[in-house]
Structure 1
């Protein structure tokens, strides 16, 4: 954990800071601060400021710089914004910090106070188990979408309809037929063309290539490929119509 001097002393409800999340995600601290502010805005000020407490720390120049501190609830709220590996790192960091703080409680000399502390900790553990069960379900429900969406966003370049159809476990012919039924494209001279309302959306990139007809006469053929923006559009449209990529079907089993 970052060695920082917080204005307010950390407690069980303030296990982590935005600096810790920056370290775990590899993001700039300013970007994590922006993420926290976005969560507060989305949750509403009343809930958001209860989960995320604005504070400060001493930077390398010994100046007071802003940061946020939060407990497990806030850490998990942020973790849901990131990928599965980062969520795992956050969970393990929380477990380590909780274990450290629990170890300190057993150093209480008075046996009665130590017993009281033990009872409180057991109650807290039961609450955390219940909270984790809920959060695990939420993460599980969000993960299928994140898996395929991340796959799209991490990709670069253009894709053929055959490549996209493969993600859904179907042929290009079947995919083209579905997109025709959904009024995305139509067939003209044995070529699939987008309806005019999609022309300027940046979903596809086409080029003409020279061909030779069977009778020996020259001609051209339109070669259309889908951009990653177009691929994401297809994913959202198909999912809306109950058609899922193979990776999400596996996660639903």
Structure 2
């Protein structure tokens, strides 16, 4: 039988039923022995009985509950020290090997130095930021596809798409300034290096997102504005900021 070690609350444990089966001992007798050990251990509170044995229970096929114990490595040591013969030796070899194997696996994920801990923290932060960005990008693309567009909307969406820089040029400003202006108006927000629409505008057909592949492992999402989105920006800037495109500024000046 191969000994099974479980991890529970960051502690490695072995079920007393497995110990009994592996050593050829009746489980009831093993429970009795462990209870005797606990009587002695509990006489000295500093020894902390739960560092050796943790009382538990299991249901039999009939649905009735029975007592069992979960043994820590110290608990296995104590049980093994009371055993003699081939089965006792095999049990000792099995639990020592299995505990060592499990501990090594756990240690692989634990930083061994401050630089390693900092690197792990940085990696986790970068991974989390990437997941947040990816999720936000997916949400925008889903929202863009959700509306059931009219024929007019479909025509607009199939015309040429515009980058924010091209729209900004109509107003004599840079794409960076336009993006900040739309952010001030609570139309879009920045996630990573991408500008994404707030939820109330995400499903209006104002933008279309395209993913551009950088290499086999990296890609970047670019947001383009539709003609409908361009008109939305025009109306918003005119009504809320009094900002007009250059062509209308020139007309009013003449």
TM-score over 0.5 (shorter chain): no
- Rg: which structure is higher? 2
Task: Give the structure-2-normalised TM-score.
Answer: 0.36
Task: Give the structure-1-normalised TM-score.
Answer: 0.36
